[in-house]
């Protein structure tokens, strides 16, 4: 027993060091206020999207909650209005798994909202299934829906510049690959729907986020619209609800112990949206509120251009 006590104590100390230095991450230090500005946050009815929207509302922004589930969005809007003291929190229905829904959302937004200063492409999912248009769910929602949304809103962003597009990616982009032949044949980047395929599909979609940001920055060069991708940290969010029950049993206890809370997970998103002086770093990738290097595939400009061209065709932009 006397031997176990110091071992246990050492374990606790190591846990605290790891938690606060690796998992807790850094804080957004920007003091920017957003009065008179408008932000869209996708997937903002829950998780870090909701936390991000709350912080933007606290800073005075008019915040559009772009969410698929109207009831959950209404509950989130109520919470955000109450905590922020702002009445400028608006719900607009958006299903990123439906090209028709994305186009309808943009049409409504452009008719009713005169400004767009921040577009935060936060929504993400991991799990099986197909979108309304037949694409693999992770590819269709995490990449293609946001690709179409961003392109349809670019003119409004340019009109209100300086403005920013922030794409929430993940460190797992380093494990991603893009097989264009497979995508052309199956409308997905993985060949199956098993749990392993779902994890791979998520990694692939996050690589798409990185490459989309890189090519978008290249295409926006010379404008006052900038764009950034980021790894928000390892976060305990409701994304776990899309995993199979046995994966949840394995992951949830570990997640509760080690993963970031929602406030911590929103910090790098807020940094990319608000921090002054980031304009020369458009197209780059951030983690823990600091510039980071992406994986080798994420630096491939030819791959980024090809993904853009393929995405234009798949989303009906050309």
The set of catalytic residues is 202
Percent helix, strand, coil in the chain (nearest 5)? 55, 15, 30
Q: Which of 280, 275, 289, 176 is nearest to 231 (CA)?
A: 289
Runs of H (alpha helix) within the chain = 4-18, 47-58, 70-84, 99-112, 137-138, 146-159, 180-186, 195-219, 245-258, 262-265, 267-274, 301-314
- Residues 225, 153: Cα–Cα separation, whole Å: 12
How far apart, in Å, are the Cα atoms of 24 and each of 16, 186, 229? 10, 39, 19
- Identify any residues that bridge with 39 across adjacent strands, giving them in sequence order: 63, 118
Phi, psi of 313 (to 5 degrees): -70, -45
């Amino acid at each position: 027993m006397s031997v176990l006590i110091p071992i246990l104590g050492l374990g606790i100390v190591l846990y605290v060091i790891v938690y606060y230095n690796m998992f807790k991450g850094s804080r957004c230090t920007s003091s920017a206020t957003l009065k008179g500005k408008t932000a869209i946050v996708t997937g903002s009815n829950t998780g870090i999207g909701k936390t991000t929207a709350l912080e933007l509302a606290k800073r005075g922004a008019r915040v559009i909650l772009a969410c698929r589930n109207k009831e959950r969005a209404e509950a989130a809007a109520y919470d955000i209005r109450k905590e922020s003291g702002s009445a400028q929190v608006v719900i607009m229905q958006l299903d990123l798994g439906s090209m028709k829904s994305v186009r309808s959302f943009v049409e409504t937004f452009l008719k009713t909202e005169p400004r767009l200063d921040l577009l935060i492409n936060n929504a993400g999912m991991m799990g099986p299934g197909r979108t309304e248009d037949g694409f693999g769910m992770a590819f269709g929602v995490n990449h293609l829906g946001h690709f179409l949304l961003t392109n349809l809103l670019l003119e409004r962003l340019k009109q209100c510049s300086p403005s920013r597009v922030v794409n929430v990616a993940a460190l797992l982009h380093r494990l991603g690959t893009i097989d264009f032949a497979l995508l052309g044949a199956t409308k997905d980047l993985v060949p199956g729907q098993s749990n392993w395929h779902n994890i791979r599909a998520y990694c692939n979609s996050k690589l798409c986020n990185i490459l989309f940001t890189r090519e978008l920055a290249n295409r926006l060069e010379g404008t006052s619209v900038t764009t950034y991708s980021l790894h928000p940290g390892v976060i305990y969010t409701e994304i776990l609800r899309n995993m199979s029950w046995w994966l949840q049993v394995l992951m949830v206890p570990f997640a509760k112990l080690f993963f970031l809370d929602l406030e911590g997970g929103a910090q790098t998103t807020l940094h990319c949206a608000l921090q002054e002086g980031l304009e020369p770093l458009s197209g780059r990738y951030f983690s823990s509120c600091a510039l980071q290097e992406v994986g080798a595939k994420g630096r491939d400009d030819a791959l980024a251009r090809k993904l853009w061209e393929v995405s234009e065709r798949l989303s009906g932009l050309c």
